[in-house]
Structure 1
Amino acid sequence: AFLVFGICGLFIIIITQIWSFIADVNISMNMSQSHHLFILTEYFVNQEKYFYWMLLHMYGVLCIGMIIMVATGTMLISYLQYTCGMFKIASYRIKHAVNINTKNITLENKVFMIENIICAIDIHRQAMKLSKHLVSSFEITLLCFTGGIVVFFTLNLYRVFQIASSKNNFNEFFLLIMYMAISSLYMFLANYMAQNIIDHNNHVFSTVYNVKWYRTPLHIQKVILFLLQRNTKKFVLNVGGIFEGSVEHFATLMKASVSYFTVIYSTR
């Protein structure tokens, strides 16, 4: 779905640009009209003569950039989904290790309990370590991406209101709306995946609370106690010590973007 959306977004951008050329031709059949690109670029050549070569270059850059962005995002999402699976495995092991026949606990059951709980704790620790390592590996990229999206969304929102007030240039208006939708979706996906990791981590502790751990032998209860104490420390995916990945944080970023737009629009 992530790849399909990226391809569709790029396809819409190209179709919008081509459609504007067709509309210009239909409006001015016998009049010479200069073409312009939606993305402002500077080429040290005759832009009218080499316009289509410039257009081809711009589309090539957009395609390469979109492929890199989608590939990187898909890879990161795959790793994070793998981490969610590790949290689920830890929850499953704890649930089935403790919820055995606790009324008639044999030595074999005790060994089974302790081995599965230790394995679950180790899997949980590895999942937390992996998720933090993934975020730290892309920390600079995510930090620049988040800040850039906020600035990009604010400026595009300001431009949309300018076009709406002047009631012209519908093609640019549509393109800006699409840019804002794509940037918002990418930021939402990033925060949603972080929220998904946090929810799976919390599910491990809720599983520990809900199992019949109080019926297990004392030494097994002590092992479970160490896991329960870990829940006192909040687990978050922090980017640069500034941004925390969560759906709530996504809403905060959107509110901040609208607030910045309000300030800019009121001081124009």
Structure 2
Amino acid sequence: MVSSTIDYYEINKNLLRFVGQWPYQKPRERRFIFIFTMILVINAMVPQVAQFFVCENMECVYETIPPHMLAIMLLIKYFTLHLNKNQVKDLTDRLFINWNIIDNEEERKIMEKYAKTGKWYSKMYASYVYIGIVLFSFTGFMPRVLDFIIPLNTSRPLMLPYPAYYFVNEEKYFYYIFCHMLFSAEIGLSGIAAHDCLLFVYIEHACSLFAVNGFRFEHMLYKRNIEKTIIINHADEVYCKNVVFAIHAHREALEFALLLENTFTLSFGIQILMVTVGMSISLVQFSIQLPNNLAGAMRYLLFIGGQLFHLFCYSFEGQKLINHSSETCDKIYNGSWYKIPPSAQRLLLMVMRKSIEVTTLTAGKIYVFSLESFTTVLQTSMSYFTVLSSFSE
């Protein structure tokens, strides 16, 4: 690991170390942090489950389901990183190895561009998660704000960040319960931030590999292994070596994307189910709360927005991977393929044929993350919302 390279992934390293999932962390440290985090998460889930059993009507049940969905999703992300630690380490090893085989300044600039993009995405997403949970939690104090803006004869009661039953007087111990919820949520959602930011970095790296290969295919007539590329003499052997080198690099990009897909596809399948059901129920709750309880409606609106943003980030990155993998064929066509010997041209045909089959990121090998699929999930959620609304009337 070169220090200048790992600087691009410093945010991811810190997030993963915080939740005990950094691939190069000491095993004892990893186990201790993981067990400690699981105790906190389970400790926060017990009151949620208790609330479910004390519910007396369907509206109360609907209120408890979205937080349960988020808690399940949180556990899925934690255990995905924990149970697939060997695959995550393999992906990380490949990432740093790919940096070491870059042999000229142009290709390094391409890799740096995508690494900086991944770092920026990680910074923005982590900030969104931590700030978002604080804002969501403080919607419980919205009744006090409304008392100041639109006062009533009696004070509005404070609300907990999410439905939970703590077996004590909630009004008397409200601030203790609130601090427990906020602390548990911040620690727990660190796993979501670490998981998703790592995924974004991996996808950006896969896109950078396809971009570097595209650059190589476009510049097949250039000499390699020197800082400044120059035109070389028309030597069939050199052309073939350049093409073979690019083909091997393209295969490495495909293998990296396939390993990424196999590592996360099962958890993605469960998460898509959670998002679809959770968003539908949140919409139902928003429609119920909106006329009479503005603070409650605001909380569900923030929850829906968070789910949409989470799904959109996945879909956007999945679409980006599709676009970069499919551009390889165009890069080859735009290159100087007509100047190379027929033996090298035949090699390019295999790559073009392979690039027609786009590389995708899927959920359970069924749902393909793309912007088109994003709209499909929204339509499905709205359909479920319509059905659930009819039952709640």
8 Å contact 1:99–1:211 — kept in the other structure? no
* Structure-2 separation of matches of 1:202 and 1:49: 60
Q: How many residues align?
A: 261
Residue 211 of structure 1 corresponds to which residue in structure 2? 335
8 Å contact 2:315–2:374 — kept in the other structure? yes
Q: What pairs up with 1:74-223 in 2 under 5 angstroms?
A: 74-98=197-221, 106-107=234-235, 110-164=236-290, 167-223=291-347
Residue 265 of structure 1 corresponds to which residue in structure 2? 389
What's the offset of the Cα at 1:25? Answer: 8.4
Residue 185 of structure 2 corresponds to which residue in structure 1? 62
8 Å contact 2:325–2:355 — kept in the other structure? no
Q: Tell me the C-alpha RMSD between the 2 structures.
A: 2.5
Structure 2 residue 382 is matched with structure 1 residue 254: no
SS in 1 for 2:165: coil
| Mean Cα deviation higher: 19-28 or 76-85 | 19-28
Residue 6 of structure 2 corresponds to which residue in structure 1? none
Residue 49 of structure 1 corresponds to which residue in structure 2? 172
**Residues 264 and 94 from structure 1, CA distance in 2 versus in 1: closer, same or farther, beyond 3 angstroms?**
same
Which residue among 241, 245, 253 is the counterpart of 2:365? 241
| Mean Cα deviation higher: 237-246 or 12-21 | 12-21
* Structure-1 separation of matches of 2:232 and 2:191: 58
TM-score normalised by structure 1 residue count: 0.87
* Structure-2 separation of matches of 1:127 and 1:172: 47
* Structure-1 separation of matches of 2:217 and 2:177: 60
What's the offset of the Cα at 1:104? Answer: 9.2
What's the CA shift string for 1:171-224, capped at 9, x where partnerless?
A: 111111111111101101001111111111111111112223233211101111
8 Å contact 1:158–1:265 — kept in the other structure? yes
What's the offset of the Cα at 1:252? Answer: 0.7
Instruction: Identify unmatched segments of 5+ residues in structure 1.
Output: none
**Residues 35 and 118 from structure 1, CA distance in 2 versus in 1: closer, same or farther, beyond 3 angstroms?**
same
What's the CA shift string for 1:55-93, capped at 9, x where partnerless?
A: 111111211122221121111101111111111110111
* Structure-2 separation of matches of 1:119 and 1:207: 16
Q: Aligned letter for 2:234?
A: T
- Sequence identity percentage: 24
* Structure-2 separation of matches of 1:36 and 1:203: 51
Instruction: Identify unmatched segments of 5+ residues in structure 2.
Output: 1-123, 224-230
